[in-house]
Amino acid sequence: MNYFKRSQIASYFRIDKELVIIFLLITITAVIFFFVANQRAFLNFFYLPVLLGAYFFGSRYATLSAFFSIVLISGVALLYPDSFSFNGTDRFFRWLDIATWGGFLLISGYLMGLLYEKKVQAAKEISKTYQGIIEMLSLLIDSVDQHTHSHSYRVSVIAEKISRAMGCSDREVEDIRIAALLHDLGKIGVSREILEKIGRLTNSERDQIKQHTTKAVRILTPVGGRVTDLLPIILGHHEKYDGNGYHALIGETIPLGARIIAVADVYDALTSDRPYRQAISPFQARNEIVANTGTHFDPRVVKVFEAIFPTFDGVGSPFAGVLGA
């Protein structure tokens, strides 16, 4: 049997997990149904699996849930002619009640499912807009200094790789990736002369550079929403594990995302040419990061960085930045 046929068979027998959940909800409701004295009143409880199906899985699963519930109740009504009777109600009105209930169940499930799908679509559009704004801000950041072109993008790729390897959730990985894209946003307020200065920075100039983390937070704070989760990461990406960073945070008090970006930022930094120095090789940069484990960098992050180091090939070249800048 060739691979294509095996794939077809596998897909035919693949279990639809969402449908199984809906079946279980209906089954549980049906089991309880048989132990309830007033079965006509309990019919309304079948709205529960239908509405849950609509909320979590959309109109298709809500409609299927309603359909299975109607089939189940119709089967009960056929097998047990005395069920759903009330004060001598004849058979016609009993079936009319079931049909009315079933119609409302189907309509409710379908409409609730449509509302769910519209909500999901709106969320996708908002996310797309959000991502577009982030990308534009990232391009704006890199345009500030011609020597750090695409720096933020490359740092975000490396930080994403490290965070995934560390077992971060999808939400955490995305927050770290976006924070890495925006980590140098505050440098927009720093003059090009300072950013591109060949000689040694004065204390005043170095203080201006150090302020770029707090400036980035001030710029992004009014945005609110999910961006708020990024602020501690951006603010702390120049903290050192031993407490000698910009804001003197130490060890685990530094957000994990900031500790990850610190490694990615420095690696991308050391492997780039700058007006005041030449780039070093990726292997030399790796050794430099390892040598600063426990002082500049979180040992756990460095351990993962070393493990996935071979995957950085092709992330981007040349790399950009400077250790501790």
pLDDT the model gives residue 23: 66
Rounded Cα distance between 192 and 209, Å, is 11
Q: What's the pLDDT score for residue 39?
A: 59
Residue 111 CA: distances (Å) to CA of 54, 197, 285? 8, 62, 57
Better pLDDT: 84 or 64: 64
The DSSP code sequence of 78-126 is HH-TTTT--TT--HHHHHHHHHHHHHHHHHHHHHHHHHHHHHHHHHHHH
Helix (H, G, I), strand (E, B) or coil at 277: strand
- Report pLDDT digits (tens) over 182-229: 888 888 877 777 776 777 778 888 888 888 889 888 888 887 777 888
Angle at 266 between CA 197 and CA 221, to 5 degrees: 85
Task: Please give the Cα distance from 159 to 181 (Å, whole number).
Answer: 10
In Å, the largest CA–CA distance within the chain is 99
pLDDT of residue 38: 56
User: Is residue 155 classed exposed, middle or buried when 0-12, 13-18 and 19+ CB atoms within 10 A define those classes?
Assistant: buried
- The whole-number pLDDT of residue 14 equals 43
pLDDT of residue 205: 81
Per residue in 126-182, pLDDT (tens digit) is 677 667 667 667 666 666 655 555 788 889 999 999 999 999 999 999 999 999 988
What pLDDT, on a 0 to 100 scale, did the predictor assign at position 289?
95
pLDDT > 50? residue 323: no
User: Poorest-confidence range of 29-38, 88-97, 100-109, 316-325?
Assistant: 316-325
273 SS3 class: coil
Kindly state the percentage of the chain with pLDDT values over 70: 72
Mean pLDDT rounded to a whole number for the chain = 78
Predicted confidence (pLDDT) per residue in 7-51, tens digit: 444 443 344 566 666 666 667 766 666 665 555 666 777 777 787
Residue 320 three-state SS: coil
Which of residues 232 and 200 earns the better pLDDT score?
232
| Band of pLDDT at residue 262, cut at 50, 70 and 90 | very high
Tell which residue, 316, 12, 301, 321, has the closest CA to residue 168: 301
Pick the CATH number of 147-312 from 3.40.50.620, 3.40.50.150, 1.10.3210.10, 3.10.180.10: 1.10.3210.10
Closest CA to 44 of 113, 2, 101, 96: 101
DSSP letters for 59-85: HHHHHHHHHHHHHHHHHHHHH-TTTT-
* Banded pLDDT at 322 (limits 50, 70, 90): very low
At 149, which helix (H) or strand (E)? none
Whole-angstrom distance, CA of residue 263 vs CA of residue 301: 8
Contact 228, 207 (CB under 8 A): no
Which pLDDT does position 142 carry in this prediction?
Answer: 61
CA dihedral 312→315→320→324, nearest 10 degrees, is -40
Q: Output the CA angle 138-255-189, nearest 5 degrees.
A: 35
Nearest Cα neighbor of 214 from 183, 187, 186 is 186
Q: Where in the chain is the domain with CATH 1.10.3210.10?
A: 147-312
Residue the block writes with tokens 């119609």: 103
Cα four-point dihedral sign 10, 12, 18, 24: negative
Task: Decide: helix, strand or coil at residue 218.
Answer: helix
